Amino acid sequence: MKRVYNFSAGPGVLPEAVLQEAAAEMLDYQNNGMSVMEMSHRSAMFQKILDDAQNDLRTLMNIPSNYKVLFLQGGATTQFSMIPMNLLKNGVADYIVTGAWAKKAAKEAKKFGKINIVASSEDKNFSYIPDVSDLLLSDDADYLHMCDNNTIYGTKFKKLPNAKGHILVTDISSSILSEEIDVTKFGLLYAGAQKNVGPAGTTIVIIREDLVRTDLPENMPVMMRYDIHVEKGSMYNTPPTYGIYLCGKVFKWLLNLGGIKAIQKINEEKAALLYDYLDQSQLFKGTVEKESRSLMNVSFKTNNPEIDAKFIAQAKENNIVNIKGHRSTGGMRASMYNAMPIDGVKALVAFMEKFEKENI
Ligand SMILES: *Cc1c(COP(=O)(O)O)cnc(C)c1O
């Protein structure tokens, strides 16, 4: 069997132990004679899988009881629509645009209300996090939206914006479970699972109870209503059962490791290995401002796109795959999600050192 070091930005690497467990249970889950994929979502066995996943996520993220946890479908992108559809009351919201995903979120929200861009880093191709300590927010804004970790560029908010009493709504698709976060600072958090949690197809929404409105327009599609999903416990229709099962296994894997505090420490170690190397390299350089660096996605390049291409090709021959940067940034990007072992980062840095010697 071949396994590579997969630095993909998403769908990303999953813990090998989790994949092995899932493989062992593939044909017969807990002596029930069928795969989780074949099981009724209304069965007691699946209900336990869902309940355990939710409870373990609550434990990991220290989610207070006045927040609802939903396992939905449609990816983070569907949340770009659901959020304004459910949260706009005055019809006004403020958005911080720190990357392509945040920009898409704002663009979608514009279909539903008056959207103000209150900060942006687009002037320098999203290579930094703007100052958000004293934003000019709209008095009547129903919420302030931000994207915590900008997957494509490799930037991350180190301090939350001063929301000045407005509800903070945050896309945590590529930073969920990577470091400690105070859920009580947010009205709504959401993430597609395929970056740092599980397979594509499951979307996690954590919403403060009082934001789950029931006074919504009659003609609003039922699948877009948080209140219905809350009322039905994420089972208005068939939920992404196998995805939830795998997410649940990842939660247990994290709990066994020691929770978010423990994985954060490992993530900091991994990031330091790569950033420290980049900071002294004569060939490679990081592409974002140091103060804005992400733990999860590390972007770098040489000063020559041909050398970049050669590096990417040779890395692949050495089982280091999916490190090509996004088409909008060029260069390289190493995504080092929770499941990327520290040995993978060590292998990457060792390969970079070797490549540097040969190409400088
Ligand atoms: C990948 C990503 C998205 C899009 O997620 P989908 O689940 O594909 O809709 C949105 N936001 C961020 C920060 C992402 O990394």
Tally of CB atoms within 10 A around 20: 10
Residue with tokens 């407005």: 166
- Whether the CB of 156 sits within 6 Å of ligand 1: no
Residue 221 lies inside a defined structural domain of this protein: yes
| Residue 25 phi, psi (nearest 5) | -100, 5
Residue 3 lies inside a defined structural domain of this protein: no
Distance 174 CA to ligand 1 centre (A): 8
> What is the pLDDT tens value at each position of the chain, 360 positions in all?
899 999 999 999 999 999 999 999 999 999 999 999 999 999 999 999 999 999 999 999 999 999 999 999 999 999 999 999 999 999 999 999 999 999 999 999 999 999 999 999 999 999 999 999 999 999 999 999 999 999 999 999 999 999 999 999 999 999 999 999 999 999 999 999 999 999 999 999 999 999 999 999 999 999 999 999 999 999 999 999 999 999 999 999 999 999 999 999 999 999 999 999 999 999 999 999 999 999 999 999 999 999 999 999 999 999 999 999 999 999 999 999 999 999 999 999 999 999 999 998
Under a CB-based contact definition with an 8 Å cutoff, are residues 234 and 70 in contact? yes
Q: What does the pLDDT look like over 230-249, one tens digit per residue?
A: 999 999 999 999 999 999 99
Residue 7 lies inside a defined structural domain of this protein: no
Token readout for 53 is 């996943």
DSSP count for the chain of H helices, then E strands: 9, 14
Q: Please tell me the distance from the alpha carbon of residue 268 to that of residue 294, in angstroms, as a whole number.
A: 10
Longest distance between any two alpha carbons in the chain, whole Å: 66
Considering the domain architecture, whether residues 341 and 251 belong to the same structural domain is answered as no
Q: Please tell me the distance from the alpha carbon of residue 191 to that of residue 181, in angstroms, as a whole number.
A: 14
pLDDT for res 183: 98
Rg (CA), the chain: 21
> Closest Cα to residue 69, out of 59, 77, 81, 80?
59
Considering the domain architecture, whether residues 220 and 142 belong to the same structural domain is answered as yes
Q: How many domains does the chain have?
A: 2
Considering the domain architecture, whether residues 142 and 288 belong to the same structural domain is answered as no
> Closest Cα to residue 242, out of 98, 10, 71?
71
Domain boundary among 241, 256, 271: 256
Q: Please tell me the distance from the alpha carbon of residue 229 to that of residue 188, in angstroms, as a whole number.
A: 15
pLDDT for res 233: 98
pTM higher than the cut 0.85: yes
Q: Which amino acid is at 89?
A: K
Distance 339 CA to ligand 1 centre (A): 18
Residue 10 lies inside a defined structural domain of this protein: no
Residue 27, C-beta contacts closer than 8 angstroms, at least 6 positions apart: 34, 35
Considering the domain architecture, whether residues 240 and 136 belong to the same structural domain is answered as yes
pLDDT for res 360: 87
- Domain span at 180: 17-256
Considering the domain architecture, whether residues 175 and 107 belong to the same structural domain is answered as yes
Q: Domain with 295 in it: what CATH number?
A: 3.90.1150.10
DSSP states along 154-173 = TEE-SS----TTSPEEEE-T
- Whether the CB of 198 sits within 6 Å of ligand 1: no
Considering the domain architecture, whether residues 225 and 273 belong to the same structural domain is answered as no
Domain boundary among 211, 234, 256: 256
Domain boundary among 238, 256, 274: 256
Residue 315, C-beta contacts closer than 8 angstroms, at least 6 positions apart: 321, 323, 348, 351, 355
Measure CA 88 to chain center. 24
- Whether the CB of 195 sits within 6 Å of ligand 1: yes
> Closest Cα to residue 151, out of 188, 192, 116?
192
Choosing from 151, 169, 297, 329 the residue with most ligand 1 atoms within 8 A of its CB, the one to mutate for a pocket test is 151
Burial class (CB within 10 angstroms; exposed 0-12, middle 13-18, buried 19+) of 317 = exposed
Distances from the Cα of 108 to the Cαs of 7, 59, 147, 245, 306, in angstroms?
A: 29, 33, 14, 30, 37
Considering the domain architecture, whether residues 193 and 235 belong to the same structural domain is answered as yes
